[in-house]
Amino acid sequence: MVLKIPRPLTKVAGPKEIVRQFVPSWFAVTMGTGILAVVIYDFPFPFSHQSDLGWAYWFFNVGLFSLFSVLFLSRWIFFFKDAVPMFQHPVQSMFLGAIPMGLATIVNGLVLFGTPHWGNAATVAAIALWFVDVGLSVLTGLLVPIFMVTSHDHTLEMMTAVWVLPVVPAEVAAASGGLLLSVVQNQRMAQYIAFISMLLWGFSVPLAFSILVVFFLRLVLHKLPPSDLIISCLLPLGPIGTAALAAAELGINARRTFEVSGDGLAAYAFRSLAEASPAIGILVASVLWGYGAWWLVVAIFAIGRTIKKQLPFNLGWWGLIFPLGVFTAATVDLYKLTGFYLFRIPAAVFICVLFVLWWIVMIHTFMRAYSGELFYAPCLGPRQVCTQNELEI
C-alpha cells in the first residue's frame, strides 16, 4: 500500500463537520495505544528507559482519549439529531464499547505509571475512574444488546466479530480491577473491587464466548468476511485474552487482598480464597491462552489469505492492536505466575510485533485523519458534506 501525503481536510467541509461525523470507533485508537503502553512496561526482558517509554505512550494516550471525549460529547451537544441514529446502526453502535475499554487503559496507566510518581493521589484517581468505567461497561453491555434484539437488522451471513465489542468492556474492567488491587491500601475496598471484578467477569465472558461460537458457525457456513472487514477475524482474541488477563491479575493480587485474621466463616473463606487464587489464576488463564492461540492462528490465516488482495484501510485496523495486546498482557502475567520461558519468549515476540503494528496503523490513521477521510459516520448514510449554513452552531 502506497501512502501519499494528502492535502489537509479535503474530505470534509471543515472542523464542524469533523464533530458531526465523529464516531465512537475512534476510541479503538486509545484502546490500542493504552495496551501498548502497558505491555511495554511489562516487557519480560528489561531494558533501559523501559518505564519511560511506556509512560510516554500512556501520556499520549491520555491526550488522545481527552480529545476524542471532547469531540464525541460535542457531537451530542451540537448535532444531537445526527448522533441519535448511531444507536440504530448495527455496526457503529457496537463501537460504543470502545469508550469504556479506552478508559480502562487510562486506569491501568494510573496504576503502573501514576502511582509511582504521584503516590496516593493517583491511586484515588484510578479507583474513581475505575468505578466510572464499571458503570459505562455495564451500561454498554446491557443497552447495545437490547437494541440488537429489538431494533437492529442482523443476519448470520452479515455477522462479524464486532458483536463482542459491547459485552467485552465488563471483562476489561475486571482485568483493570485485578491490576488495581496491587495499589489499593484499604483492604476492605480492595475486597469490594475484587468481588465486583469477579462479577464483571461473569457478566461478560460467558456471553462473549457464546458470540464466538455463533461467529465460528458463520465462518463455516458463509466463509470469510469481505476484505474491508477481514481484520475483525482477530477480534475474538480480545475477549479470550482479556478473560485470561483478568483471571491472572486476580490470581496475582488476590492473596494480598483476602489474607485476613479471625475465626468466622467469612474469614476462613477469604483465607481459602487467598491460598487458592494463584492456582486458579494459572489454571484458568492457561486454558484460555490455549483457546486464544487457536483463534490467533485462524485469524492470521484469514488475514494473510485476504491481504494478497487489496486491503482497504479503515479504523477497523485498530482491531489488530488491542486484541493481540490483551492476549500479550495475559502471556506476560502467565510468565509472572509460572516463570516458564514458554510464556516469556512469546510475550517478548508479541510486544515487538505490537510495537511495529502500532506504528503502521497510527501513521495510516494520522494521514487519513489529516485529509478528513476517516471522519465519516456510516449511521448518517452515504458521505454527506454539509453546507456552511447547516453547520452553524
What is the average pLDDT across 190-215? Answer: 96
Residues 139-147: what's their mean pLDDT?
96
Instruction: Decide: pTM greater than 0.75.
Output: yes
- 8: pLDDT strictly greater than 80: no
Q: What is the pLDDT of residues 250-302, one digit of tens each?
A: 988 988 888 876 778 888 888 888 888 899 999 999 999 999 999 999 999 99
Match 492457561 to its residue by C-alpha cell.
Answer: 286
Spans of all domains in the chain = 15-380
Q: Work out whether the CA dihedral 152, 156, 160, 164 comes out positive or negative.
A: positive
Reported residue count of the chain is 393
pLDDT digits (tens, 9 = 90+) for 113-123: 999 999 999 99
Q: Could you say which DSSP state residue 112 is in?
A: I
Q: What are phi and psi of 47, to 5 degrees?
A: -140, 165
Res 383: pLDDT: 55
Question: What φ, ψ does residue 2 adopt, rounded to 5°?
Answer: -90, 130
Cell of 53: 517509554
Give CA–CA dist 98/90, Å, rounded: 15
Q: Is the pLDDT of residue 339 over 70?
A: yes
Q: How far is CA 16 from CA 4, 10, 28, 99, 373, in A?
A: 25, 14, 22, 22, 15
Quick check: 151 pLDDT over 50? yes
Contact predicate 180/115, CB 8 Å: no
The answer on pLDDT for 315 being more than 80 is yes
Percentage helix, strand, coil for the chain under 3-state DSSP, each rounded to 5: 75, 0, 25
Percent of the chain scored above 90 by pLDDT? 76
CATH superfamily entry for domain 15-380: Voltage-dependent anion channel (1.50.10.150)
Task: Tell me the C-alpha distance between 104 and 203, whole Å.
Answer: 17
Structure confidence at residue 13 (pLDDT):
60
In one letter, which amino acid is 253?
Answer: N
> Measuring CA to CA, which residue among 305, 351, 317, 290 is closest to residue 234?
317
Q: pLDDT by residue (tens digit) across 36-95?
A: 999 999 999 999 999 999 999 999 999 999 999 999 999 999 999 999 999 999 999 999
Rg (the chain; Cα; Å): 21
Mean pLDDT of 117-146: 97
Model pLDDT, residue 388: 35
- pLDDT at 377 (0 to 100): 87
| Per-chain mean pLDDT for the chain | 91
Q: Which of 320, 249, 329, 332 is nearest to 32 (CA)?
A: 320
Classify residue 226 as left (phi > 0), alpha (psi -120 to 50) or beta: beta
Burial-class residue 84 by CB neighbours within 10 Å (0-12, 13-18, 19+): exposed
The confidence score (pLDDT) of residue 185 equals: 92
- Residue 333 CA to residue 250 CA, distance in Å, equals 10
Q: Which three cell numbers stand for residue 6?
A: 494528502
Burial class from Cβ neighbours inside 10 Å (0-12, 13-18, 19+) for residue 49 reads: exposed
The CA dihedral of 29, 33, 34, 37, to the nearest 10 degrees, is 180
Region for residue 11 given its phi and psi (left: phi exceeds 0; alpha: psi -120 to 50; beta: otherwise): alpha
The pLDDT score that the predictor gives to residue 200 is 97
The secondary structure of 16-75 as a DSSP string is HHHHHT--GGGHHHHHHHHHHHHHHHT-SS--TTHHHHHHHHHHHHHHHHHHHHHHHHHH
pLDDT band at 11 (very low <50, low <70, confident <90, very high): low
